[in-house]
Chains A and B, each alone.
Chain A
Amino acid sequence: MSGTFVGMPAFPKAAHEAVNNPTLRGNLRHATHTIRAKREKAVAEVSDWAELREAGKRIKDHTLRHLDDYLVQLEESVTAAGGIVHWAADADEANRIVTELVKATGESEVVKVKSMATQEIGLNEALEAAGIHAYETDLAELIVQLGKDRPSHILVPAIHRNRGEIRDIFAKEMSEWGRPAPEGLTDTPAELAEAARLHLREKFLRAKVGVSGANFMVAETGTLVVVESEGNGRMCLTLPETLISVVGIEKIVPTWRDLEVFLQTLPRSSTAERMNPYTSTWTGTTDGDGPKTFHLVLLDNGRTDTLADEVGRQALRCIRCSACLNVCPVYERAGGHAYGSVYPGPIGAILSPQLRGTASEIDASLPYASSLCGACYEVCPVAIDIPEVLVHLRERVVQGGEVTREGNKVVLKPAKGHAAERAAMRAARWAFARPGAVRAGQRLASRTRRLHPRRLPLPGPGKAWSETRDLPPVPAEPFRDWWQRTQGGAK
């Protein structure tokens, strides 16, 4: 998959740099702690959270189990509703399809709703290469785009920027892209938001083509759902004449009724609200209301390979709420960029190496970007056992074994020269040299269950690694104590 941050160092090195940037750490800490506290309150409001979570997990598992049937059903219902369905096996194909669709409209610019899928495939860059300007319209994405930067959080992509930095970016860059920032712009959030409103409104009002992702697609009805706060989503979904939605194949739910689960769990988990300000649903096209032409591009790009992994496939349940980022003691210090992908934090650590494979150093190191404290599993609204998948992926990196790449079974060699092991140890040493990070994790861990040590020690080529680093039964001895006692197994 493209959308890799090319030239990214492996996680431990990138994390090391982030940790030494006090502004970044301050911004991150403030943000993650604020959302975390709010989220707990929002979740506590619904007494049936555990049942909603279980239902969400089961709906997604059921869908994945029958993904072929639901994909075909979705295609039929979208087509019947007046939409046009395209299939893209990888990033290049998706980019090619979208580029051609935009070209066919004769337009040279598009407005975009924030979408992880289009970031994952590097759509903006592909469009730019074809002479098409893609304008990000989510405020945070705008900040990132104007700052020639990369997003660092799923929900709040500019979480690493504070108001002063944002003011400077707006004052300097807006004029290059369209309406300049007002004279004498200060750094109050209200003024900054107003500057963005004016800057983007001229684009919305003239836009002929909109590009989006979707949070959900309903197989039975062909309905797509976009959940947002600012209204930029509504602008992109309703004002243009042509709408192109690029959506990962795992975003399907079988029935209209299934939305009742996710429309309750997603907002509370992500923005900690009872409901996000705007949710739009559309089923094909509607005469006189909204785009006349609707294209749906169904994206694989490593998802079927992930589906082939019995343990790892649960990552496809993810609804991208970002709750796991906000509780992760490693994310809080390392920052989103250190993960080298559009999916940072705990979910990124299990999703990216599965979508992309573990050939690169960064991908091989990602399964180690965690203290296995279990906090991510606890908050996940679809109960993805992230620690379980992390341990599974570590095993694969160190030990090698059979994996599926682009639909074919291939045998992965054990990581060369223990590069992964070194990466692992560096990551772990980095984390455990910071007792605060781990304590935060441990506190949560004491409330959690199983740390899944059962996959260690490893058989086969990984044995050398695991034999010298025998994990005691956890949690009889907390990981941190074990680490301190043994210096990460070095003793």
Chain B
Amino acid sequence: MSSRERILGRVRRALADAPGEDTPIERAYLREHGDRSVEETTDLLAENLADYRAIVHRCSPDDLAVTLAGMLAARGAKTVLVPPGLDPAWLADADAEQVPDRLESTPHELDRIDSVVTACAVAVAETGTIVLDGGPDQGRRRITLVPDHHICVVRVPDQVVGSVPQALERLDPVRPLTWISGPSATSDIELDRVEGVHGPRTLEVVLVGAQPSAEANS
């Protein structure tokens, strides 16, 4: 007998005494916590991102190229990794050398690049999370992992949802997904939080399209 048959047989025997009735799955929990306007949802996203030590910027679509160029310059980035489907206008003003991600790029090559700029699939306000789904403007999972500096552009309000249930609804499970809440962190040493053990140590998020608000933090 194969282990598959053995295990399935054991499961069936173990359940033979289980009550015929099934526990119905009730979903009495909320779809979203609180009642927020679109602006409030974006503000909450900014707040929660910052709370987990992501650096948040806001700008209008017209200012995006200048904003990104400024961020890369401030970081001193000489090279920037670019996913294949990124809107070329976004990096039109950047001085850093643009390195297109290629299938053949080895992890070692990626490791030598300073920064990476991507879009995202959706952002979750309540948890301060951005989700990447490997779409052409986000690229392979590894490009947002190996370089030390990740800039992620979120289009507001259409890419922002309030809650985790709303985010899952929008995502396609067939795609490989990466949910990112702040930069890589560990609390393994006496529970002191340290940013950046293995992933990018700096995560900057640009909320584009929002009215830059007075307390926008940078």
Contacts and interface: CB of A to CB of B under 8 A. Distances in A.
Interface string B128-145: 110000100000111001
Q: Which of B14, B24, B33, B126 has the most CB of A within 10 A?
A: B14
Contacts of A355: none
Contact of B127 (A206, A274, A288): A274
A248 B124 CA distance: 30
Interface in B166-211: 168-169, 173-192, 194, 196-200
B25 to A, nearest CB: 5
Interface of A: 27, 30-31, 34-35, 45-48, 51-52, 54-55, 58-59, 61-62, 65-68, 71-72, 81, 87-89, 93, 137-140, 143, 156, 158, 162-163, 166, 189-190, 192-193, 196-197, 200-201, 204-206, 218, 221, 223, 229-232, 234-235, 237-239, 249, 256-257, 259-261, 263-264, 271, 273-283, 286, 288-290, 298, 300, 304-305, 307-308, 310, 313, 404, 407
A156 B187 contact: yes
9 contacts: A68-B8, A89-B7, A139-B186, A259-B168, A261-B29, A271-B187, A274-B181, A279-B178, A407-B9
Contacts of A235: 145, 198
A313 B126 CA distance: 34
B9 A65 contact: no
Contact of A277 (B4, B6, B7, B185): B185
Contact of A230 (B6, B25, B126, B198): B198
Given A193-B196, A276-B181, A277-B183, 10 more contacts: A138-B188, A204-B107, A235-B198, A238-B141, A263-B164, A274-B128, A275-B129, A290-B140, A308-B10, A313-B14
In order of increasing CB-CB distance, the 3 nearest A-B pairs are: A231-B199, A231-B198, A304-B10
Contacts of B27: 55
B28 A223 contact: no
B214 interface: no
A87 B25 CA distance: 28
A82 B26 CA distance: 33
Interface stretch (B15-23, B71-79, B90-98): B15-23
A274 B179 contact: no
Contact of B197 (A62, A231, A288): A231
B188 A407 contact: no
B17 A310 contact: yes
Contacts of A263: 164, 168, 179
A386 B177 CA distance: 34
A281 B173 contact: yes
Contacts of B197: 139, 193, 196-197, 230-232
B49 to A, nearest CB: 11
Given A197-B198, A205-B111, A288-B140, A275 B134 contact: no
